[in-house]
Amino acid sequence: MGRLEGKVALVTGGRGGIGRAICARFEAEGAAVYAADLSEAGSLDAAGGASRFLRLDVTREDEAIAALARVRDEHGKLDILVNAAGIEIEKTIEETTLDEWNRSFAVNVTGTFLTSKHALPLMRKAAEGGSSASIINFGSYDGFIADPGLAAYCATKGAVHALTRAMACDHGPEGIRVNAICPGYIDTPMLQSFFTGEGSGAGGKSIGELQQAVRDVHPMRTYGTPEDIANLVNWLASDEARYASGQLWVLDGGLSAQVQQMKI
């Protein structure tokens, strides 16, 4: 029997690189899963994935209300919410337009707020039976330390970290645990666009060379896969994690533990 048998889960950004791996893992563990995203294809070229697609633009309150109403009508509760929808603008603050700044906060921060806000009544229902409900937000190691040329992104992830702690304090007494996962470099379309984007400092290097350079700065000499993230999300979603709340779980191959090495 799967670890999440009988549980209902909704994953925003559920058709993205990390979101798809989380949905697949939740399905394998026996949960009923909604993959909520802007489109069936999400950030990947092809539509698909095991779980039910639910159209949701996380920046729109009417869509959040409608998505959660469908979950209520079909299941009457929500045990697990993963707020994985996110965007990354690769610019310094001077290069960032006000629209780009606002869009970054709208998706990464307001989206987490709105989906969680409208999920809470259904999560209280899930927690009534005695097992805890679990919200898992997506921060980043960029919420603690900065990559150059990612100013708005870093600011949004710092905000998600603070929001995670606040939500955990407010809703712990109702049996709702709230944590954030803070990934390092994970191999998804977001990372690919970081390699090729304006802020990457690619400077004529091939993607292969950039990927090797990134591997070399990690103590583990590799970057992560969406499945690495899904493993931790799966534990945080499960009843085994009943005492885990209000924490920022860094998963980065040791990257943020290491002082930058001099090249001599």
**In terms of CB distance, is 86 or 149 closer to ligand NAD?**
86
Residues 197-256 close enough to bind ligand NAD by CB under 6 A: none
The yes or no reply on residue 82 touching ligand NAD (CB under 6 A) is: no
Nearer to ligand NAD, 6 or 148 (CB): 148
Please report how the helices 151-171 and 111-127 are oriented relative to each other, as an axis angle in degrees rounded to 10: 20
Binding mask 128-167 for ligand NAD (x = CB under 6 A): ----------x-x---------------------------
Q: Which is nearer to ligand NAD, 27 or 88 (CB)?
A: 88
By the rule CB under 6 A, 180 interacts with ligand NAD: no
223 is known as an active-site residue? no
| Least distance between ligand NAD and beta carbon 242 (Å) | 25
For position 13 contacting ligand NAD by CB under 6 A, the verdict is yes
Binding site for ligand NAD (CB under 6 A): 12-13, 15-19, 37-38, 42-43, 56-59, 84-87, 107, 111, 138, 140, 183, 185-186, 188-191
The catalytic residues are 153
